[in-house]
């Protein structure tokens, strides 16, 4: 997995990632002009009916247009035109959000070519079109070939250019038999030869799904969006009844209202602002993830990320740097440090892991031991590390006889020494426990020579916690999210790392079954769980988690099981995903608050204006006290409210696309902040805006 530096981020700051992608945080006025044709196409009633609030606005626009044609006047035509603009502006918000996705999709389409595949049949190759491949087919890919479909490498290892989907020019290694076996159709093999087993049908590849998702064509409304749609539809029905019942009262007061005024009143009172921006907010939330090189398989996953209450994080590569480094050699009683360092270096010469390399380097730098190459030890027999033996080493033969050096897990080395008649000193156990308790990984070094089998000492491998992780976990805690570190280390080591990193809990010596059981326990308590994974053994847990983020370098099984795929394969990105999910929910809540507060303020503009024809404050009664704005004329008041209602949608499009700035805080503080900024702002803005528009509208002949 790719290791990237952890840095504090604000969820509203978006960085370009991937080919041809536009930052989600930027909004340019020319995007409005480019998206205008798409907004006009959305005026189709079959499209509008999916948004109940704006469908009512469209019906109102039709009614006022008919009335203006039947009885033309400047007032009637101004109301009709601005109601139509309200509908267009609402469609424009969604069209702009979708337009940015289409630009990204165009880049992805360039990766789709009419590839010819070299399919293996009974050991021989045959050339077929990539579209003719079926699940289970084996295809050969060599340097320069385009991989014809999604699949897993079942033979060989190769360097692959995945810049078409990740935007990263650096090639990646794909090989069989591990967690880096998945390949994506449309990517290019740069070196060597691999055999790929196709795992998806033509037309349903990873790139096909990416194109559909970033364009918005595959976006389904999330449960929260559906619930909010129902609320907005209910409010619309309530206001519809209120407006209908208002006419009899007006007739009783000898102030009968025209159909145009009643329609204008209805449109201004229903929550048009959030109704217009709701879809754009959802699309923009998924788009922000795309900017982070994360592909969400559904809007539900993004929304769930915002509600996550438990975060499961792998220790290695996520919380720590991933490569443990040798920090010191601790000799046993009666053993010189130089002797231990020499044996540790010998046993690590054939160990190509970062840990093994660090042992060789430490012995060279701290004890002046020259790095010996395997070629210099012609008669040495190298013992490779296996999961069964849990140790490695070398057998040396010279004039003094055979000398066997071993390095490995404490239990395995103790057993090896005991089998050869040696004694395990109590001090070695104390050293192992002390290093484990300090968060390190102890490796025992032992030797068998003419003096017998004995333990020489302990190598202290240190797992380094990434800089800034404790601060990130403190942020998550303020967000109300519980963090759980998952590791295969023993409990002592796991506890030390957990304490240093600042996580809330840890799961040591974790197996795939343990991960799945932990997720189910958390969910049984009503919590939403997020986790990352890349291997086939992670697939059950990824499928069970509410937010399962699969690494792009992982297996096809992991990517199919998760509901998000991180194209950069950076496990720390899970923290950013949660922040983006929360930002989506906050943005939706903030603009809903602003919209409803807007409606209250517009009430004070239109209702007094409707009954202004009643002469005298005494006749007007309590309604005169509501005439706070003192607008020029009833007609200018109504037109000003309608114009403001349309323009506020355009003004809020950048905020809907960029998202409300997110800061970690408790739910109570967040609610108070939203009410203070967007609730109070939603009340004040119409008073100021409508008054300014009224001063301009009153200059129009026939209105003022």
Instruction: Note the pLDDT tens digit of each residue in 555-597.
Output: 777 788 888 888 777 777 888 888 888 888 889 889 999 988 8
Whole-model pTM: value is 0.67
Domain boundary among 435, 464, 493: 464
CATH number at residue 475: 3.40.50.1000
> Residue 186 has what pLDDT?
79
Residues 96, 220, single domain; the answer is yes
Q: CA–CA separation, 275 vs 696, rounded Å?
A: 28
Domain boundary among 415, 449, 464: 464
> Residue 439 has what pLDDT?
67
114 assigned to some structural domain = no
391 annotated ligand binder = yes
Produce one character per residue of 194-220: b if its CB has 16 or more CB atoms within 10 Å, e if not: bbbbbbbebeebbbbbbbebbbbebbe
Residues 369, 396, single domain; the answer is yes
Contact 270, 236 (CB under 8 A): yes
> Residue 1 has what pLDDT?
35
Residues 545, 474, single domain; the answer is yes
Q: CA–CA separation, 475 vs 483, rounded Å?
A: 11
* pLDDT of residue 422 exceeding 70: yes
Instruction: Name the active-site residue from 314, 463, 489, 568.
Output: 314
9 assigned to some structural domain = no
505 annotated ligand binder = no
Q: How confident is the model at residue 82 (pLDDT cuts 50, 70, 90)?
A: very high
Query: At 182, phi and psi to the nearest 5?
Result: -75, 135
> Residue 648 has what pLDDT?
93
Ranked by mean pLDDT, which of 89-93, 437-441, 643-647 comes out on top?
643-647
Query: At 405, phi and psi to the nearest 5?
Result: -120, 130
Q: How confident is the model at residue 6 (pLDDT cuts 50, 70, 90)?
A: very low
Residue 314 annotated in active site:
yes
> Residue 93 has what pLDDT?
83
Question: What pLDDT, in 10s, does the model give residues 19-53?
Answer: 334 344 445 667 677 788 888 888 898 888 888 89
Residues 474, 453, single domain; the answer is no
390 annotated ligand binder = yes
For the chain, give the mean pLDDT: 80
Burial class (CB in 10 A: 0-12, 13-18, 19+), 527: middle
Pairing outcome for strands 310-314 and 482-486? parallel
Instruction: Return all residues near 461 (Cβ < 8 A) that are at least 6 apart.
Output: 324, 325, 326, 327, 355, 358, 440, 441, 442, 443
How far does Cα 220 stand from its chain's mean position?
Answer: 17
454 annotated ligand binder = no
Instruction: Return all residues near 190 (Cβ < 8 A) that are at least 6 apart.
Output: 143, 144, 158, 159, 160, 161, 171
Residues 417, 449, single domain; the answer is yes
314 assigned to some structural domain = yes
> Residue 68 has what pLDDT?
92
Residues 436, 333, single domain; the answer is yes
Q: How confident is the model at residue 79 (pLDDT cuts 50, 70, 90)?
A: very high
Residues 473, 346, single domain; the answer is no
Question: What domain range includes position 446?
Answer: 325-464
351 annotated ligand binder = yes
Residues 442, 353, single domain; the answer is yes
Question: What pLDDT, in 10s, does the model give residues 341-362?
Answer: 888 888 888 777 778 888 888 8
Instruction: Return all residues near 477 (Cβ < 8 A) that are at least 6 apart.
Output: 483, 504
Length of the chain in terms of residues written: 704
Rounded mean pLDDT, 666-692: 85
128 assigned to some structural domain = no
Take residue 180 and report the two structure tokens written for it: 């880096």
154 assigned to some structural domain = no
Question: What pLDDT, in 10s, does the model give residues 508-531?
Answer: 888 888 888 999 998 998 888 988
* pLDDT of residue 99 exceeding 60: yes
Residues 512, 656, single domain; the answer is no
Domain count across the chain: 3
169 annotated ligand binder = no
258 annotated ligand binder = no
> Residue 470 has what pLDDT?
86
SS3 content of the chain, % helix, strand, coil (to 5): 50, 20, 30
> Residue 108 has what pLDDT?
60
328 annotated ligand binder = no
407 annotated ligand binder = yes
> Residue 424 has what pLDDT?
82
Q: CA–CA separation, 387 vs 406, rounded Å?
A: 15
Q: How confident is the model at residue 387 (pLDDT cuts 50, 70, 90)?
A: low
Domain boundary among 464, 493, 523: 464
Residues 490, 441, single domain; the answer is no
> Residue 235 has what pLDDT?
87
Which residues make beta-bridge pairs with 396?
Answer: 403
> Percentage of the chain surpassing pLDDT 90?
10
Residues 600, 679, single domain; the answer is yes
Region class of 143: left (phi > 0), else alpha (psi between -120 and 50), else beta: beta
Rounded mean pLDDT, 224-231: 83
Region class of 359: left (phi > 0), else alpha (psi between -120 and 50), else beta: alpha
Q: CA–CA separation, 507 vs 514, rounded Å?
A: 8
Produce one character per residue of 107-130: b if its CB has 16 or more CB atoms within 10 Å, e if not: bbeebbeebebbbbeeeeeeebeb
Residues 368, 495, single domain; the answer is no
């Amino acid at each position: 997995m790719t290791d990237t530096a952890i840095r504090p981020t604000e969820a509203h700051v978006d960085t370009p990632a991937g080919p041809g992608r536009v930052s989600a945080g930027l909004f340019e006025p020319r995007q409005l002009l480019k998206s205008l044709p798409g907004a006009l196409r959305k005026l189709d009633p079959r499209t509008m009916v999916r948004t109940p609030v704006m469908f009512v606005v469209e019906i109102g626009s039709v009614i006022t247009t008919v009335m203006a044609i039947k009885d033309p006047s400047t007032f009637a035509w101004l109301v009709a035109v601005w109601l139509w603009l309200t509908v267009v502006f609402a469609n424009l918000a969604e069209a702009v959000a979708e337009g940015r996705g289409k630009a990204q999709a165009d880049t992805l389409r360039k990766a789709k070519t009419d590839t010819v595949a070299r399919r293996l049949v009974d050991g021989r190759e045959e050339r077929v079109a990539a579209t003719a491949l079926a699940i289970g087919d084996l295809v050969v890919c060599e340097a320069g070939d385009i991989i014809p479909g999604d699949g897993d490498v079942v033979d060989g290892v190769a360097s692959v250019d995945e810049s078409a989907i990740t935007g990263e020019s650096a090639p990646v290694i794909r090989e069989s038999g591990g967690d880096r076996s998945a390949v994506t159709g449309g990517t290019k093999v740069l070196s060597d030869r691999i055999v790929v087993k196709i795992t998806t049908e033509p037309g349903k590849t990873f790139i096909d799904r990416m194109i559909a998702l970033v364009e918005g064509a595959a976006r389904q409304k999330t449960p929260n969006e559906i619930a909010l749609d129902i609320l907005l539809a209910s409010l619309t029905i309530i206001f519809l009844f209120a407006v209908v019942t208002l006419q009899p009262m007006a007739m009783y007061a000898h102030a009968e209202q025209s159909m145009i005024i009643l329609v204008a009143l209805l449109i201004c009172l229903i929550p048009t602002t959030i109704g217009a921006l709701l879809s754009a907010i959802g699309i923009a939330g998924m788009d922000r993830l795309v900017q982070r090189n994360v592909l969400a398989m559904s809007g539900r996953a993004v929304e769930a990320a915002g509600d996550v209450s438990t975060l499961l994080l792998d220790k290695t590569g996520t919380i720590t740097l991933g490569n443990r480094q040798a920090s010191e050699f601790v000799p046993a009683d009666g053993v010189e440090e130089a002797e231990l360092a020499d044996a540790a270096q010998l046993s690590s010469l054939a160990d190509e892991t970062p840990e093994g390399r660090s042992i060789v380097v430490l012995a060279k730098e701290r004890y002046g031991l020259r790095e010996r190459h395997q070629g210099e030890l012609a008669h040495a027999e190298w013992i490779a590390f296996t999961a069964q033996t849990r140790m490695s080493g070398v057998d040396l033969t010279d004039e003094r006889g055979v000398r066997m050096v071993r390095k490995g897990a404490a239990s395995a080395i103790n057993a090896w020494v005991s089998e050869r008649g040696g004694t395990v000193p109590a001090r070695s156990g104390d050293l192992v426990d002390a290093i484990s308790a300090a968060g390190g990984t102890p490796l025992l070094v032992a030797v068998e020579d003419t003096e017998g089998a004995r333990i020489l000492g302990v190598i202290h491998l240190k797992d380094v916690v990434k800089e800034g992780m404790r601060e990130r976990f403190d942020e998550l805690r303020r967000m109300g999210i519980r963090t759980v570190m998952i590791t295969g280390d023993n409990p002592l080591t796991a506890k030390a790392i957990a304490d240093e990193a600042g996580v809330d809990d840890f799961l040591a010596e974790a197996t795939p079954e343990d991960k799945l059981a932990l997720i189910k326990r958390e969910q049984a308590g009503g919590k939403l769980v997020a986790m990352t994974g890349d291997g086939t053994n992670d697939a059950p847990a990824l499928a069970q988690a509410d937010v399962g983020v699969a690494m792009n370098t992982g297996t096809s099984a992991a990517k199919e099981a998760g509901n998000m795929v991180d194209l950069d394969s950076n496990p720390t990105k899970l923290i950013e995903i949660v922040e983006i999910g929360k930002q989506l929910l906050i943005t939706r809540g903030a603009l809903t608050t602003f919209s409803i507060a807007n409606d209250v303020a517009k009430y004070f503009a239109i209702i007094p204006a409707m009954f202004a024809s009643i002469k005298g404050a005494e006749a007007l009664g309590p309604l005169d006290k509501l005439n706070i704005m003192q607008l020029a004329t009833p007609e200018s008041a109504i037109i000003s409210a309608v114009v403001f209602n349309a323009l506020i949608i355009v003004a809020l499009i950048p905020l809907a696309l960029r998202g409300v700035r997110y800061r970690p805080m408790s739910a109570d503080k967040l609610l108070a902040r939203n009410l203070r900024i967007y609730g109070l702002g939603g009340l004040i803005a119409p008073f100021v805006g409508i008054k300014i528009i009224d001063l301009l509208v009153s200059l129009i002949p026939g209105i003022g």
